[in-house]
Copies of this chain bind each other. A is one copy, B any other.
Amino acid sequence: MKELINYILQFGQLDKQQIDLVMNNVVESSLHKGEHFSEAGKVPKQVGFIVDGVIRGYYHHNNGEEITRCFISENSLVADYVNFEANTVSAEYLQACTDCRLIIFPKDNWEELSRAVAGWDNIKNKMVQICMYQKSRKGPVISQDATTRYREFMENYPSLINRVPLAYIASYLGVTQQSLSRIRRNIR
C-alpha cells in the first residue's frame, strides 16, 4: 500500500483521514503471467495500480495477429480509462506479461472517492492524464530497420529487456522473434 500512497501524494495533498478513505476503497490483488487485467469486447470495471510487474496492451489485427501496443510497469496506473469512464466496450487487452501485484479500484469505489475525498478529482485527473500519456507514447518508428527499433527500445525501456518475454517485445517492434533473436546476437 505504501507504494500507492506515495504515488498518489505526488499529485496532491491528502490528510491521514483522507488517505484512510482511499485505502478503504481499494483491494489488493495479483495476476499470474498471461492472465488478463481487462479484455477486448468487455466493459472495463476497474482501475489498477501496478505494485510490481509489467502489463502489456495488445489487440488483434484483421488477420488475427496479436499487435502489442504498449508496456506499463510498476508505479503506474493501468486502465482502459476512456471505456472505463464511458461504460463502453474495450477494443484492447491488458495482459500481465510477468506475474503482477496490483491494487485495484473497483468502479463503484473509484466514483465514491470523488464524493468522499475533497481534492480527489484533481489528483485523479492528473493521474489519469499520465496513465493515458504513457499508453499513447510514441511507438517504434516504422521507417527504421528492426535493429534500430530494438536499439531505441533498449534506450526507452531499459528495465524491460530482461523481464518481458522476447515474443512480446518482438510483437511490439513488429518483427518475428527469430529475427529479433538474430538482431540481439549481431548487436554484441
A residues apposed to B, CB below 8 Å = 61, 65, 67, 136, 139-144, 171, 173-175
Q: CA of A140 to CA of B139 in the docked complex: distance in angstroms?
A: 12
- A143 to B180 CA separation, bound complex (whole angstroms): 12
Partner of A141, one of B136, B141, B174, B175: B174
Closest residue on chain B to residue A143 by CB atoms:
B174
A65-B143 in contact (CB<8A):
yes
For residue A65, give the distance in angstroms from its CB to the closest CB of chain B. 7
Cβ–Cβ < 8 Å partners of A61 in chain B: 141
Nearest CB on B from A130, distance (A):
14
A-side interface mostly: loop
Q: Is the CB of A67 within 8 A of B174?
A: no
A1 CB → nearest B CB, Å: 33
Residue of B139, B141, B142 near A173 (CB, 8 A) is B142
15 residue pairs of the A-B complex, CB under 8 angstroms, read A61-B141, A65-B143, A67-B141, A67-B143, A136-B136, A139-B142, A140-B142, A141-B174, A142-B142, A142-B173, A142-B174, A143-B171, A143-B174, A143-B175, A144-B174
* A137–B79 CA distance with the chains assembled, in angstroms: 19
Q: How far is the CB of A49 from chain B (nearest CB, A)?
A: 25
Residues of B within 8 A of A65 (CB): 143
Known: A140-B142, A141-B174, A143-B174. 8 other contacts (CB 8 A): A65-B143, A67-B141, A67-B143, A136-B136, A139-B142, A142-B142, A142-B173, A143-B175
List chain B residues, Cβ under 8 A from A173: 142
